[in-house]
């Protein structure tokens, strides 16, 4: 019987999630029914309320709206602490996806004399209470993954994550700092130890974004 109750609650969550996707503002009255057509128990209603809270975008998601739009950017990146900077330019298109739950960034430009394309997705996880991001591009076959927190006082999203490093093998770590300067400018910095095992952290990449007019 307990297994049946658990299965029922999971199914109810799935139905509710589908309803939110179809029409976020639709009344939930018809979904608040039990398996026998009666009202849900208090326990079931509490679980549905938690699911609704988890599925609903909030103020933390709205923060990402500050970088939604069309951008020109300039990139500087360094292979090591003392190496000269490589420079390139490109464009970024950042849009809302999944009804305001995530943003998607599509990048095009040049890198090391070659055409470059990239894609990133960022969102706020209401349950984990942190920002999550993934990044993939035409310069590799791995996927960068990171988490972060936003400071409203400094308008800075600070993160950390992992990426595949073919030069030393296995995974490397990075630290990132995204700062919203004003409505038309923001910056992104990435710090890592490069391909040196146990090396000292240095500024690996810096991107300056200017909103297109």
- Residue 196: what pLDDT? 62
Spatial neighbors of 98 by CB under 8 A, at least 6 apart, are 123
Is the pLDDT assigned to residue 74 strictly greater than 70? yes
Examine the pLDDT at 7 and tell me if it is beyond 60. no
pLDDT in tens, 85-129: 999 999 999 999 999 999 999 999 988 888 999 999 999 999 999
Q: What is the pLDDT of residue 195?
A: 66
Q: Which residue has the higher pLDDT, 160 or 165?
A: 160
Distance of alpha carbon 203 from its chain centroid, rounded? 21
Per-residue pLDDT tens over the stretch 15-55 = 444 444 444 444 444 444 554 456 888 888 888 999 999 99
What is the predicted pLDDT for the residue at 113? 84
Question: What is the overall mean pLDDT for the chain?
Answer: 85
Residue 200 has pLDDT above 50, yes or no: yes
Q: Is the pLDDT of residue 59 over 70?
A: yes
Q: What's the half-sphere exposure (Cβ side, CA atoms, 13 Å) at 75? A: 19
Residue with tokens 């810096």: 206
Indicate if the pLDDT at residue 10 is higher than 60. no
pLDDT at 82 over 70: yes
pTM of the model: 0.81
């Amino acid at each position: 019987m307990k297994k049946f109750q658990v299965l029922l609650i999971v199914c109810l969550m799935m139905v509710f999630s589908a309803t939110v996707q179809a029409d976020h503002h639709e009344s939930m009255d018809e979904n608040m029914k039990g398996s026998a057509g009666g009202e849900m128990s208090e326990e079931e209603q509490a679980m549905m309320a938690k699911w609704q809270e988890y599925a609903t975008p909030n103020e933390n998601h709205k923060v990402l709206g500050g970088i939604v739009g069309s951008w020109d950017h300039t990139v500087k990146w360094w292979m090591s602490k003392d190496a000269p900077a490589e420079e390139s330019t490109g464009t970024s298109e950042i849009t809302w996806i999944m009804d305001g739950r995530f943003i998607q960034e599509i990048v095009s430009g040049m890198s090391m004399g070659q055409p470059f394309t990239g894609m990133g997705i960022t969102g706020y996880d209401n349950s984990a209470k942190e920002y999550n991001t993934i990044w993939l591009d035409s310069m590799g076959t791995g996927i960068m993954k990171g988490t972060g927190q936003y400071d409203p006082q400094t308008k800075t999203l600070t993160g950390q994550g992992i990426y595949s490093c073919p030069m030393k093998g296995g995974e490397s770590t990075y630290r990132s700092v995204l700062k919203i300067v004003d409505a038309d400018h923001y910056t992104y910095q990435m710090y890592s130890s490069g391909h040196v095992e146990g090396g000292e952290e240095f500024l690996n990449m810096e991107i300056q974004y200017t909103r297109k007019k």
